[in-house]
A and B are shown apart, each in its own frame.
Chain A
Amino acid sequence: MIGAEHFLIVSAILFAVGVTGALISRNLIMIFMAVEIMLNAANLAFIAFARIHGDMSGHVIVFLTLTVAAAEAAVGLGLIMTLYRRRGSVDASKFNIMKW
């Protein structure tokens, strides 16, 4: 028997995997993809809660989150392109100009 809680646990594991990716990779593109996985994990939790409560507001929130994710991907990848053009690298540990 599959309950709604199973979906929530999948969402929690996906979020943790996203955290792992954002922490351990040094390639900016990979960090960005890990952030997308975390966004998706939150979306899955929204859908599961919408199903539990029988309220479709969660679906609307997920729709808006997807829009934000698309906008974020466009701007973020533009930033990565500019950084690569100026500094010749996408290694996050090399961008330490703001390091105290």
Chain B
Amino acid sequence: MEALNLNVIVFYLAAGLAIAGAFLMVWQKNPVASALYMLLSIVSQAVLYLQLDALFVGAVLIIVYAGAIVTLFLFVIMLLNLRGEDLVNPSAGPKRYVKLIISGVVGAELVYLLVESTGIGTHLTKLDSAIANFGDVKPVAELLYSKYLYGFEITSILLLVAIVGAVILARREPGEN
């Protein structure tokens, strides 16, 4: 019973931080603060992954997002060196109420569909019976190298294309100052 309560507390803490981090990220004027709030949201989502027994993917999420993507964002923000007139407050844009209403409707629809189609309130899908080794490196790797081998190989081509594309896009053309 004690462990169950701890699980519940960790879930609400991580879920609240993930959502609050995403909200604050959207509501920032400064992109650097925005990137750091995104980091908070990502780390909280990794905690949620761990609660769902996805150990390997949770670790990969932290490595790829916190280690690579947020760092890349911060580097680009630093390189761009944005000035005052580039930093517009998101809540001051045109037609902001229409946009807020649209996104609110999207969120409400998603939550409503989930509540209707799954059994929240009546019968929850219990989470205390994972199969052995669920989410460990070995079973994930076995799937990745057998059933999803083609997807995995195509990913390597995608990464190659992304590397070449990023280098060509970010290159200064001759004669450009």
Q: Spell out A's residues near B (CB within 8 Å).
A: 1-10, 12-21, 23-27, 29-30, 32-34, 36-37, 40, 43-44, 47-48, 50-52, 54, 56-57, 59-60, 62-64, 66-75, 77-82, 84-85, 89-91
Contacts of B115 in A (CB 8 A): 5, 9
User: Whole-angstrom distance from the CB of A38 to the nearest CB of chain B?
Assistant: 10
If A73-B72, A73-B73 touch, does A56 touch B140 (CB 8 Å cutoff)?
yes
Contacts of B22 in A (CB 8 A): 14, 17-18, 21, 37
10 A-B pairs, CB-CB below 8 angstroms? A3-B127, A5-B120, A17-B107, A19-B102, A20-B104, A21-B90, A29-B80, A54-B131, A60-B151, A71-B161
Contacts of A67 in B (CB 8 A): 155, 158-159
Docked pose: A25 CA to B80 CA in angstroms: 18
Is the pair B23, A17 in contact by a Cβ cutoff of 8 Å?
A: yes
Docked pose: A8 CA to B142 CA in angstroms: 26
Contacts of B108 in A (CB 8 A): 16
If A2-B11, A16-B103, A21-B25 touch, does A52 touch B170 (CB 8 Å cutoff)?
no
Is the pair B114, A13 in contact by a Cβ cutoff of 8 Å?
A: no
Docked pose: A23 CA to B151 CA in angstroms: 32
User: Whole-angstrom distance from the CB of A50 to the nearest CB of chain B?
Assistant: 7
**Which listed residue, B8, B19, B45, touches A2 by the CB 8 Å rule?**
B8
**How many chain B residues touch the partner (CB < 8 A)?**
92
Is the pair A13, B111 in contact by a Cβ cutoff of 8 Å?
A: yes
Is the pair A75, B169 in contact by a Cβ cutoff of 8 Å?
A: yes
User: Whole-angstrom distance from the CB of A94 to the nearest CB of chain B?
Assistant: 10
Docked pose: A80 CA to B135 CA in angstroms: 36
Docked pose: A48 CA to B142 CA in angstroms: 20
Is the pair B130, A54 in contact by a Cβ cutoff of 8 Å?
A: yes
If A10-B48, A25-B90, A56-B135 touch, does A33 touch B73 (CB 8 Å cutoff)?
yes
Determine the residue in chain B with the shortest Cβ distance to A80: B76
